[in-house]
Amino acid sequence: MSTQLNIAQETAKPVPGSGFIGSTDDQDVLLEISNLSKNFGGLQAINDVSLNLRAGIITTLVGPNGAGKTTLFNMITGHIPPTEGNVHWQGESVIGKAPWKIARQGIARTFQDLRLFTHMTVEENILTVMEPGSWLWQPGGKSRKARRYDKVSQILERTGLTDKRHTRALDLAYAERKFLSLARIMATDSRLWLLDEPASGLDPNSYNLFLRLLREEVKEGITVCIIEHNLDIVVNISDRIAFLDQGKLLADGEPETILNDPALAAIYFGER
Amino acid sequence: MTAYILNLLVLISVYAILSTTLNFIIGYAGIFSLAHAVFFGIGGYTAALVAMNVTPEFFVAVPVAMGAAAVTSLLLALPALRVRGEYFVAASLGLQVLAVTLFSEWKSFTGGIGGVIGIPAVELFGYPVYKPWQFLLMSLICLATIIVITRTLVHTSFGRSLKALRDSESAALASGKNITVIKTLSVVLSSSLAAAAGALYAFYMSFINVESFMLDTSVLVMAMVIIGGTATILGPLLGAALLMLIPSALTYLSFLPQTEIGSIQQMVYGMAMVLLMIFRPGGIVSSHPGGSK
Ligand SMILES: Nc1ncnc2c1ncn2[C@@H]1O[C@H](COP(=O)(O)OP(=O)(O)O)[C@@H](O)[C@H]1O
Ligand SMILES: [Mg+2]
């Protein structure tokens, strides 16, 4: 509860263009994307997209393959510079910042192709994320170190990877790899999670575990933006839906509104 | 005969330092440098300069040599930060070629093509070390120290950061890793430890010239790492021993035409490399699946 209040306070200054005044559901904008565009040579992967991610909710980014969803993530996290436009994180522009700095400001992400640290063990994968010091030692000494190991154990427990603690990432099964990529961002103290197709290909049990984790984290105050095709996530989990097609943001609103729009449904279900 | 064996062992331990330190960046940071001999050379020349003009004291000459290599290694860190894979290999190759030219031309530092002669025996707290077995002991202690240092580093948070950026640079960035600092530090550490090998070598030979610090040395050391097995402790040691022993073994095969030993040696190396990469791509001591650890 107190973290929720903090979020409200920190973001309680008017953010440009967020429609802050007088509107109840426009409060607590954590991340503001304004007029963002990206050209790859002649291809316009993202075309003048403006979108707000609100604190404490799940925003789902939907759209056909090649719509530009991953590219949008890449620009938010600094992996790809935009051609035009801006991204504000808690009121401050992140454009031009190194990805590791953006990450340390509280934006965590997973990758569609996971990008685990393949030759490291599950434990090392998680531990390294909690070690921000770049030099030869970590601040905080033995007690902090012990706390890091405790946190690894907790995360392993929650993601069902306890038995795999000393297994190398490349020796994991598919679902386990996906949970490791989640575990890696659970280890950060980030406020915003950008998840790139985290549920795709999960068996029903794994999928339910994933949903439970997601709900728990949101309850703890994590804000989530998730790229997903899975209709269950789109309909039942999302608080808001942003619909992207061919680099353009076609709609952004409550799930019912979006799904009841026949034109969008046609694109979504591939009936163009 | 013992003199011959002692000599071989000293050279193996010097090269084992080179392969261990190169493995540190190849195996753990994924930085494939073809310029390792440059820092071997800088270590050698600097130690020689200090020994001849200031003092042959080990604990002065070696740290100064390591410091010189640490500073110059920033030249290698620069391309390592900007490009990866084959582009970095090309950049390091350029640095190696550039260094050889400098080593040949910069007479006041390197003695030019003729090299540096009359390097005094190294001293440990004032006591000169000139008997071969004493020197062997000293270089083995250096090797052991460097193995302990790199092994320890690899198992700390720094080692984990290195491996993380080796396995996925973009994911390491997304995890908040300051890649600039981590990569630079790994290159500086590896290069300055390689300079210790250069200092030992200069003291041991009492004469050095550019021929020991050319591209063939860089290639040889890289072969030691890859044949032995990257990202392992034992691999680079084994690789160094093996590649140093092959030439001596060949000279014992009396049916081989001794004048052609050089080219036969090259062919043996080449064949060994090709066969190994086909049948055991992780090296003799493999850290990859199917291997022991
Ligand atoms: N680094 C890149 N260089 C060139 N083209 C790219 C790059 N990344 C993505 N694209 C192109 O941009 C378009 C959008 O890709 P992407 O964002 O991955 O789509 P989505 O995640 O919605 O499936 C695609 O046509 C893709 O080929
Ligand atoms: Mg994608």
Structure letter (DSSP) for residue A168: B
User: Which mutation among A70, A195, A196, A267 tests ligand 1's pocket best, with the greatest number of atoms within 8 A of CB?
Assistant: A70
Give dist(CA B206, CA B201) in Å, integer. Answer: 8
CB pairs below 8 Å between A and B: how many? Answer: 93
Assess contact for B224 and B243: CB atoms under 8 A.
Answer: yes
Of all protein residues, whose CA lies closest to atom 5 belonging to ligand 1?
A40
Range from A138-147, A250-259, B106-115, B199-208 that averages highest in pLDDT: B199-208
The reply to whether residue B168 touches residue A117, judged by beta carbons under 8 angstroms, is yes
In this structure, how many other beta carbons lie within 10 angstroms of the beta carbon of residue A27?
Answer: 15
- The complex scores an ipTM of 0.88
Chain mean pLDDT for chain A: 88
Per-residue pLDDT at B265: 80
The reply to whether residue B158 touches residue A104, judged by beta carbons under 8 angstroms, is no
Q: Which helix (H) or strand (E) is A169 found in, with range?
A: none
**Dihedral (C-alpha) B13, B17, B20, B25: value to the nearest 10 degrees?**
-160
CA distances from B196 to A224, B98, B182, B208, B214 (A): 51, 21, 22, 15, 17
Q: Looking at ligand 1, which atom is closest to the CA of residue A73?
A: 17
Residue type, A1: M
The reply to whether residue B185 touches residue A115, judged by beta carbons under 8 angstroms, is no
Which conformational region is residue A90 in: left (phi greater than 0), alpha (psi within -120 to 50 degrees), or beta?
A: left
Nearest CA of chain B to the CA of A253: how many Å? 28
Chain B partners within 8 Å of A142 (Cβ)? none
Give dist(CA A2, CA B21) in Å, integer. Answer: 51
**Sequence spans of domains, chain B:** 2-213
When pLDDT is averaged across residues A178-200 and rounded to a whole number, the result is 96
Establish if A188 touches chain B: CB-CB under 8 angstroms: yes
Establish if B149 touches chain A: CB-CB under 8 angstroms: no
Chain B partners within 8 Å of A127 (Cβ)? 157, 160
Which of B153, B174, B185 comes nearest A77 by C-beta?
A: B174
Which of A104, A115, A128 comes nearest B161 by C-beta?
A: A128
Establish if A120 touches chain B: CB-CB under 8 angstroms: yes
Assess contact for B203 and B121: CB atoms under 8 A.
Answer: yes
Per-residue pLDDT at A17: 37
Q: Which helix (H) or strand (E) is A69 found in, with range?
A: helix A69-76
* Beta-sheet strand order (sheet of A223-227): A107-109, A192-196, A223-227, A58-62, A240-245, A248-253
> Helix, strand, or coil here: A36?
strand
Per-residue pLDDT at A11 exceeds 50: no
When pLDDT is averaged across residues B162-174 and rounded to a whole number, the result is 96
The reply to whether residue A131 touches residue B168, judged by beta carbons under 8 angstroms, is no
When pLDDT is averaged across residues B264-285 and rounded to a whole number, the result is 82
Per-residue pLDDT at A15 exceeds 60: no
Measured CA angle at A251 (ends B174, A93), to 5 deg? 40
- Asked whether the CA dihedral A133, A137, A143, A149 is positive or negative, the reply is positive
Q: How far is the CA of A5 from the centre of ligand 2 (A)?
A: 34
Q: Looking at ligand 1, which atom is closest to the CA of residue A247?
A: 14
Compare B233 and B83 and report the one with higher pLDDT: B233
The reply to whether residue B175 touches residue A77, judged by beta carbons under 8 angstroms, is no
Compare A221 and A272 and report the one with higher pLDDT: A221
What is the per-residue pLDDT across B40-90, written as a single tens digit (0 to 9) for each? 999 999 999 999 999 999 999 999 999 999 999 998 888 878 887 788 899
Q: How far is the CA of A183 from the centre of ligand 1 (A)?
A: 26
Chain B partners within 8 Å of A116 (Cβ)? 167-168, 171
Establish if B158 touches chain A: CB-CB under 8 angstroms: yes
Task: Kindly report the pTM of this predicted structure.
Answer: 0.88
Q: Looking at ligand 1, which atom is closest to the CA of residue A63?
A: 22
Of all protein residues, whose CA lies closest to atom 12 belonging to ligand 1?
A45
Give dist(CA B61, CA B57) in Å, integer. Answer: 6
The reply to whether residue B153 touches residue A132, judged by beta carbons under 8 angstroms, is no
Per-residue pLDDT at A34: 97
Instruction: Output Rg (C-alpha) for chain B, integer angstroms.
Output: 19
Per-residue pLDDT at A236 exceeds 90: no
Give dist(CA A200, CA A228) in Å, integer. Answer: 7
Per-residue pLDDT at B291: 36
Q: What is the 3-state secondary structure (H, E, C) of chain B?
A: CHHHHHHHHHHHHHHHHHHHHHHHHHHHHCCCCCCHHHHHHHHHHHHHHHHHHCCCEHHHHHHHHHHHHHHHCHHHHHHHHHCCHHHHHHHHHHHHHHHHHHHHHCHHHHCHHHCEECCCCEEECCEEECCHHHHHHHHHHHHHHHHHHHHHHHCCHHHHHHHHHHHCHHHHHHCCCCHHHHHHHHHHHHHHHHHHHHHHHHHHHCEECHHHHCHHHHHHHHHHHHHHCCCCCHHHHHHHHHHHHHHHHHHHCCCCCHHHHHHHHHHHHHHHHHHHHHHCCCCCCCCCCCCCC
Q: Which of B91, B87, B64 is nearest to B75 (CA)?
A: B91
How far is Cα of residue B199 from the mean position of the Cα atoms in its chain?
Answer: 12
Tell me the domains of chain A and their CATH numbers.
21-106+190-272 (3.40.50.300), 116-189 (no CATH)
**Which residue in chain B is spatially nearest to A80 when comparing CA positions?**
B170
Give dist(CA A40, CA A44) in Å, integer. Answer: 6
**Burial letters for B136-159: b for 16+ Cβ neighbours within 10 Å, e otherwise?**
bebbeebbeebbeebeebbeebbb
Assess contact for A42 and A59: CB atoms under 8 A.
Answer: no
Q: Which of A8, A85, A102 is nearest to A247 (CA)?
A: A85
Of all protein residues, whose CA lies closest to atom 18 belonging to ligand 1?
A70
Per-residue pLDDT at A16: 40
The reply to whether residue A111 touches residue B167, judged by beta carbons under 8 angstroms, is no
The reply to whether residue A119 touches residue B163, judged by beta carbons under 8 angstroms, is yes
* pLDDT band, residue A27 (cuts 50/70/90): low
Chain B partners within 8 Å of A104 (Cβ)? 176
